[in-house]
Amino acid sequence: MSQGNGTKDKISPRVIERLTKYLRCLESMSPDDYISSEEMAERMGLTAAQIRKDLSNFISEFGEGFGVRGKGYQVRILYSGIERILGVHKTNNIIIIGAGRLGSALLSEPEFTKESFNVIGIFDSAEHKVGREMSGLKIRNISELDYFLETKDRVDIAILTVPKAVAQEMADKLVSAGVKSLLNFAPLKIKVPENVVVANIDLYAKLQELNYWKEKVL
């Protein structure tokens, strides 16, 4: 995860990444259960101290009743607190730029039917795709993007699934129209101003990393 030039927040991206994993860990538990940091640590291959340290950054988000001596954290309180920290307790509107193979696969992803993430538009530049329906949404012409951003609901996140050659240009367009968060799948590092966050997902780079580690464990 990167943002323009500076860091707005003292919280490390690693902490936020672990919070998303804590949510996954808690998902399989009953909300009335309690879990200790030791038990969570064991399930997740972390240390209890790490978990306590991560959560202590946000202690005010959890409020009363968080952490009962001898029992641990109540799953309901921990889960909803982390959801609030991550901002997924409310609906986040998403648009997808590029209705190709990846854009189409993401649009049909069941996570996007959850309340926290809601795809409200998908755009493409290919005339033959514009107007077609994809997972219940009409593909819009990219030329309508500015008008859409001015007139429709707030857009919280834009996902870029366009070719590398146009990804930076599309990111600039989104940023100048006021979009503050980008998830980029094109294999290049998108540059954004300081007040914008971007997560670049480079699958090929991940494969290269994995290949390195594979050699080490053999």
Ligand X SMILES: NC(=O)c1ccc[n+]([C@@H]2O[C@H](COP(=O)([O-])OP(=O)(O)OC[C@H]3O[C@@H](n4cnc5c(N)ncnc54)[C@H](O)[C@@H]3O)[C@@H](O)[C@H]2O)c1
Site of interaction with ligand X (CB under 6 A): 97-103, 123-126, 129, 142, 161-164, 166, 170, 185-187, 203
User: From the CB of 88, what's the least distance to ligand X, in Å?
Assistant: 24
**In this complex, which beta carbon is closest to ligand X, that of residue 44 or of residue 201?**
201
The structure tokens listed for 148 are: 């859409």
Annotated binding residue 6: no
Annotated binding residue 99: yes
Annotated binding residue 136: no
The string of DSSP codes covering the chain is: -EESSS-S-SS-HHHHHHHHHHHHHHHTS-TT-EE-HHHHHHHHTS-HHHHHHHHHTTHHHH-TT-SBTTTBEEHHHHHHHHHHHHTTTS-EEEEEE--SHHHHHHHT-GGGGSTTEEEEEEEES-TTTTT-EETTEEEEEGGGHHHHHHHSS---EEEE-S-HHHHHHHHHHHHHTT--EEEE-SSS-----TT-EEEE--HHHHHHHHHHHHHHH-
User: From the CB of 139, what's the least distance to ligand X, in Å?
Assistant: 9
Q: Which residue is nearest to ligand X (CB)?
A: 100
Annotated binding residue 102: yes
User: From the CB of 143, what's the least distance to ligand X, in Å?
Assistant: 9
Placement of tokens 């290919």 in the chain: 126
Annotated binding residue 132: no
User: From the CB of 208, what's the least distance to ligand X, in Å?
Assistant: 13
Q: What pairing do the DSSP bridges indicate for beta strands 137-141 and 157-160?
A: unpaired
**In this complex, which beta carbon is closest to ligand X, that of residue 104 or of residue 116?**
104
Annotated binding residue 100: yes
**In this complex, which beta carbon is closest to ligand X, that of residue 103 or of residue 121?**
103
**In this complex, which beta carbon is closest to ligand X, that of residue 81 or of residue 98?**
98
**In this complex, which beta carbon is closest to ligand X, that of residue 82 or of residue 158?**
158
User: From the CB of 163, what's the least distance to ligand X, in Å?
Assistant: 5
**Binding region for NAD(+):** 98-103
